[in-house]
Structure formats: C-alpha cells, structure tokens
Amino acid sequence: MATEFQFFPGLGYTLGIRNDTDRSATLTTALEECKLLVARVGASPLDDFATSCYSFCAILHAAREQGLWAVWASTFPFAMQLRLFRHFVPLSVVLLASSDALLITGAFYQLLSASEIGVPIVLRVSSFTVQFSAGLAVAAVTAMVSVGLYGHQSFVDFRLLLSKIAVASMLVLMLVYLSAAYWREGLGDLPDFPLKATLIWLVCVSVTRGTFSVTLGRGLLKRRVLVLGNGAQAARIAKLVETGANEHFVPISFIGTPGERLSLRFDPVDRSVSAPGALTDDALTEMVYRLGASEIVVATDDRRGLPVRQLLHSKLAGIKVIDFLDFWERETRTVDIEALKPSWLFYSDGFRCGPLDELLKRAFDIAVSLGLLLLTLPVLVVTACLIKLESPGPIFYHQVRVGLHGQVFTILKFRSMRVDAETDGRPRWASERDPRVTRIGAIIRKLRVDELAQIFNVLRGDMSFVGPRPERPFFVAELAQTIPYYSERHWVRPGITGWAQVNYPYGASMEDAWIKLTYDLYYVKNRSIFLDFMILLQTTRVIFWNYGAR
C-alpha cells in the first residue's frame, strides 16, 4: 500500500494512527469499500489514476470513522484571513460578499432577460442586461457594506440583522429606482422593476445569510491554531475566545515553555498545557498533525525558553509558524502596544508611503471632500442657521489641534456647545449628556454634522479625509508621556474619520486613548486607498447606528 502514502505526506500523523499495520489495515478497508462502490456503478478496471482517487477516498473514510474531519482538513490549509492591498479581510466576508454579488447578479439577469434589447458585445460574452445586472449587484453589495451587513454582530444579533436589512432594503430600492430611471431606454417598459428587484434582493440576502450562519456556527471557516506559551500573550489570545471577539480561529492547545509564568485562568476551549521541557525534537510537529492545527502561534512572554529546534522542525515540515504580533494584527486588525517592540516595526511589512501613494491619497481626499460638500451643502446651510438662531455666538468653532509631524493647525467645526464651555481655560473631554452641549449641538453631534465643517481643513491640506483623529496639544502631551508609541500616529495627516472611529466608540479617557491607538497604528502601518474606501463605507454604518456619538 505504498502508493497511497506518496500522495499525502504526513498522513500517519494526520489520521492519528501511530502503528504501520493499523494504518495499512484502515486504508485497505477504505480502499476495498471504494472499489465495491465503483463496481456497483459499472466502473472500468482500476488504473493508476483511479488508484490515486481511491487513496483520496480512503483518507476521507478513515478521517470520518475517527471523527477527524477537522484534522484531515488541516492537511490542506487555506487562509482564513486574506490580505487585500495591505488590509486583512476575513475569508468569510469575501466569500459572503462574492456569493451575494453572484446570486444577485443572476437573479437580476433572470428578471431582465425576458425583455433584453441590448446588443451583445465582447465576443458575445457580455450584453447590456448582464452589465446592468452586475453593476446593480455591486452597488447593492456596497450599500450592504455601508450599513454593516458583513459585520460579525449581524450574525449573532438577530434583531440587529433585521434592522440592518431594513435600512439596506431602502437603499437598494433607491439605487434600483434611480438606475432604472437613468437606463430606461435599455431596460424597456418595466414599471414594476424596482419593487421586484428589491424583493429578489431580499430573498438572495436571506438565502446567503442563512447558509453562512449554519457554516459559521459549525466552525467550518475557523483556523485551528496551536499556541506556544501560557503567559500574558497567550492569555490575551484566550480572552478573544472567551469574550466572543474572535470568529476566525480556534486555539486547540496551549503549550508552556520553561520559566514562563502561568497566566491562563479560564478554560473556554479544549486546552492541553504540556509540562515545560517535555517536547522532543519532533514532538511539536507530531502534536500539530495529531490535533489538526494549521499553524503554530509563538506567544511566549520570555523568548529564552523558546523550543527553537522543535519550531525549526515544524517549519521544515511545512507547518506555518507565526509570531504573536503578526497573529494579533491579522486577527484583530490592531497593533498590540503591550507586546510591541521596535524590531517588529522595522522588519514587518507595511509603512509604504511613496510619492505615488501620497498623490493618490491627496486626489482621493479632494474628490471625496468636494463630492461630500456638494451633497451636503443644503445641510450645512440649515445647520448654520439653526446654530445662529438658538444661541448667541459664532457659527463655527476654532480649536488648535496637532497634525502631521506634530505641527499644530486650527480645526474648523460647527459649534455644538455654549460659548462659555471652557471658561476656566482647562481642556476637558466631552462626556455623555454633557451639560455644555446645546440642543441643536446634541443633534448635530449625534448625526456627525458638526464634523462636516472640517471638509475645508481637508481641502486646505491640514487634514486628510481618512486618518487618526487630531487631538488638542494639551491631551497629546499628556498621552505621549503615558502611552508608548503615541507620537507615531502623527506620521500621517489626521482625518475626519478613521479606522479607530469606525471600530471603537468615542474616547474620553486614558484607557480609551490606549485602545484607539492600537487601531491608529494599524492604519498608519497598512494605509492604502482600499482601506480608506472601506473606512469611508463603514463611516456610514457608524452614522446610521449612532455609534459612540457624544
């Protein structure tokens, strides 16, 4: 039975069969069953290709009999996080968005195909109906992203999911209506198309959400990881599972190292912490195969007890070995400041900011700012009138903030507080139900309208549309003394919205500033036009659901 093993190296470890006789007997039994199955459907005699197929089936059979589907799957690992234009995107989100786009495109095409009058182009592969259906599907998926239908919370909170679908359905209905009105000649006479298309969209979304809820519930899209370490860094990985903040990986084992202080207290997953120094040269590799892990996360607080030889053998065996900081960045899309070392910043991928990147960034800022200014001009005028009518004082509020390279500039905002908000001259963060906020100010702060005046700061070059929020010099001096690497956020222009703003609520304390810095450093490291566009879409979600406004 040597033929079977040359196609799948490491098979003995994967199936958990330690004895050669047992392995051969198990595969032989599975192979015989495959032969009987083929014989029943009238298959031809076996050849070399068929033998390989039987070997594959034998693996499936043995894995099923031993309850090791996840273990078998680890032999053929695929990334649960994709890096698109430097930004980490969960595979589940990519699959769900692709499924939505394809299903909606097919449904719209089916609805329009009966009345198609367009002329096929591009070697008869494309037509007006196909192009229109695909474009409308992409627009619908974009609207779904903007209301947060691809977030993890949408799968765990049914009421939130229904509310987001309701808002998205209105956006889709508006998109379909405007598109049908603009391309009326190509679509022909379809007076009820917008309503039918929206109902079809609703059916498609229900089907994909139902399917993915079952898939995610069974953990089919989760990476199985083996964590090397049981100290503070390993405890933070375990906490991601305990708090439900993780949906992309399962830590199946935590392995201690010599001299490391035990910090794991809870047991939300199946863990087996080995005794320090108990690993032989190949024990770690065998454990990975036996438990079905797809990678090893090195999360030791003290690297002096690191089992270097065992890790080297695992790497040579084709097992992925990843550092804690890289793992944390990939899974949380933040930078862990507590474990951060300058060497990681030196050698890790990121911080690309060439002349072309700066030119594209500036063009993006100007285009988005001018477009938003034209769209919201009536809102700006009405807001200015209401502020002037409600209370005496200026319409705009000027305040000094820290910008690029630590240079100060004057930020422009619609005034939302009383004129005497800081009569003592001491800066202070805004609090919930702050008594200094006026009635009109409370409304424009909830809707983020007070921030729209900063469009002029963007056009002037003081700010970018997307970037870390600028803080006042008083707070910057205080935070830079307490929080490490805080000044590094000033290597990019501050923004009206940012990665921290769409992922974390309003910050009004030292702890909030620490957490928001983890998002800001991720943005500084991985910034791109793609990430800016994603932040722009998610800002719409923040405004819709009033996330963190004060």
pLDDT at 189: 66
Do 158 and 235 lie in one domain? The reply is no
206 found inside a domain: yes
Tokens of 350: 């990121």
Summarize the confidence of residues 287-312 as an average pLDDT. Answer: 89
- Tell me the pLDDT of the chain averaged across its residues: 79
pLDDT reading at 429 higher than 80: no
Identify the residue with better confidence: 425 or 154: 154
State the distance between the two ends of the chain, measured CA to CA, in whole angstroms: 70
Summarize the confidence of residues 319-330 as an average pLDDT. Answer: 94
pLDDT at 323: 94
Summarize the confidence of residues 429-455 as an average pLDDT. Answer: 84
Neighbours of 123 (CB within 10 A): 6
Do 502 and 376 lie in one domain? The reply is yes
Tokens of 358: 């700066």
pLDDT reading at 74 higher than 50: no
What DSSP string describes 277-305?
T---TTHHHHHHHHHT-SEEEE--S-GGG
Is the CB of residue 279 less than 8 Å from the CB of residue 253?
no
Tokens of 376: 């919201």
pLDDT reading at 348 higher than 70: yes
pLDDT reading at 17 higher than 60: no
Three-state DSSP at 225 gives strand
Summarize the confidence of residues 186-195 as an average pLDDT. Answer: 76
Grade residue 383 by pLDDT with cuts at 50, 70 and 90.
very high
What's 333's DSSP letter?
A: S
Is the CB of residue 222 less than 8 Å from the CB of residue 295?
no
Do 411 and 521 lie in one domain? The reply is yes
Neighbours of 433 (CB within 10 A): 8
550 found inside a domain: no
Summarize the confidence of residues 528-546 as an average pLDDT. Answer: 89
Alpha helices in 184-323 (DSSP H): 184-187, 193-217, 232-242, 283-291, 308-316
Distances (CA, A) of 509 to 279, 314, 348, 438: 45, 44, 30, 23
pLDDT in tens, 43-68: 443 344 344 444 444 444 444 444 44
Grade residue 539 by pLDDT with cuts at 50, 70 and 90.
very high
Distances (CA, A) of 305 to 229, 283, 300: 10, 16, 8
Summarize the confidence of residues 436-448 as an average pLDDT. Answer: 87
Grade residue 99 by pLDDT with cuts at 50, 70 and 90.
very high
Grade residue 316 by pLDDT with cuts at 50, 70 and 90.
very high
Calculate what percentage of the chain has a pLDDT beyond 70: 75
pLDDT at 3: 32
pLDDT at 155: 76
Grade residue 301 by pLDDT with cuts at 50, 70 and 90.
confident
Summarize the confidence of residues 531-542 as an average pLDDT. Answer: 92
Q: What angle do CA 347, 517, 341 make, to 5 degrees?
A: 30
Q: Which of 14, 45, 73 is the last residue of a domain?
A: 73
pLDDT at 278: 53
Is the CB of residue 494 less than 8 Å from the CB of residue 468?
yes
Summarize the confidence of residues 103-111 as an average pLDDT. Answer: 89
| Single-letter amino acid, residue 124 | R
- Encode 127-165: b = buried (16+ Cβ within 10 Å), e = exposed: bbbbbbbbebbebbbbbbbbbbbbbbebbeeeeebebbb
Do 400 and 513 lie in one domain? The reply is yes
549 found inside a domain: no
pLDDT reading at 11 higher than 70: no
pLDDT at 411: 95
Do 297 and 239 lie in one domain? The reply is yes
Do 369 and 495 lie in one domain? The reply is yes
Grade residue 186 by pLDDT with cuts at 50, 70 and 90.
low
Q: Is 44 exposed, middle or buried (0-12, 13-18, 19+ CB in 10 A)?
A: exposed
Q: Is 364 exposed, middle or buried (0-12, 13-18, 19+ CB in 10 A)?
A: middle
Q: What angle do CA 501, 526, 485 make, to 5 degrees?
A: 70
Summarize the confidence of residues 462-484 as an average pLDDT. Answer: 94
pTM value is 0.81
411 found inside a domain: yes
Distances (CA, A) of 461 to 290, 369, 468, 489, 495: 57, 11, 15, 17, 11
Do 509 and 407 lie in one domain? The reply is yes
150 found inside a domain: yes
Q: Which of 55, 73, 91 is the last residue of a domain?
A: 73
Rounded CA gap, 90 and 215, in Å? Answer: 14
pLDDT at 42: 42
28 found inside a domain: yes
Phi-psi region of 488 (alpha: psi -120 to 50; beta: other; left: phi over 0): alpha
| Single-letter amino acid, residue 228 | L
368 found inside a domain: yes
Do 212 and 228 lie in one domain? The reply is no
Query: Which of 187-201, 287-301, 303-317 is least confident?
Result: 187-201
Query: Which of 186-200, 299-313, 349-363 is least confident?
Result: 186-200
Query: Which of 104-118, 328-342, 498-512 is least confident?
Result: 104-118
pLDDT in tens, 246-269: 778 889 989 887 766 766 654 543
Do 188 and 323 lie in one domain? The reply is no
Query: Which of 287-291, 321-325, 342-346, 436-440 is least confident?
Result: 436-440
Is the CB of residue 405 less than 8 Å from the CB of residue 493?
no
Rounded CA gap, 433 and 413, in Å? Answer: 19
Alpha-carbon Rg for the chain, nearest whole angstrom, is: 28
Do 94 and 197 lie in one domain? The reply is yes
pLDDT at 265: 57
pLDDT reading at 8 higher than 60: no
Alpha helices in 157-192 (DSSP H): 158-182, 184-187
pLDDT reading at 21 higher than 60: no
pLDDT at 152: 79
Query: Which of 37-46, 148-157, 348-357, 438-447 is least confident?
Result: 37-46
339 found inside a domain: no
pLDDT reading at 123 higher than 70: no
Rounded CA gap, 95 and 150, in Å? Answer: 11
Do 375 and 523 lie in one domain? The reply is yes
Q: What are phi and psi of 79, to 5 degrees?
A: -65, 130
> CB neighbours of 210 closer than 8 A, spacing ≥ 6?
none
Grade residue 548 by pLDDT with cuts at 50, 70 and 90.
low
pLDDT reading at 111 higher than 50: yes
Of 412, 404, 397, 392, nearest to 524 by C-alpha is: 404
Summarize the confidence of residues 137-149 as an average pLDDT. Answer: 93
Q: What is the largest CA-CA distance in the chain?
A: 93
> CB neighbours of 123 closer than 8 A, spacing ≥ 6?
none
Do 369 and 400 lie in one domain? The reply is yes
Rounded CA gap, 458 and 462, in Å? Answer: 6
Distances (CA, A) of 504 to 153, 329, 334, 542: 14, 16, 11, 10
Question: Could you tell me the residue range of the domain that residue 19 belongs to?
Answer: 2-73
pLDDT at 329: 95
Question: Token match 């010599």: residue?
Answer: 258
CATH of the domain at 281: 3.40.50.20
- Encode 203-237: b = buried (16+ Cβ within 10 Å), e = exposed: ebbeebbeebeeebeeeebbbbbbbbbbbbbbbbb
pLDDT at 269: 39
Q: What are phi and psi of 260, to 5 degrees?
A: -95, 135
Q: Which of 194, 217, 240 is the last residue of a domain?
A: 217
Tokens of 434: 């702050």
pLDDT in tens, 494-536: 999 999 999 988 777 889 999 999 999 999 999 999 999 999 9
pLDDT at 44: 40
Summarize the confidence of residues 102-113 as an average pLDDT. Answer: 88
Q: How many domains does the chain have?
A: 4
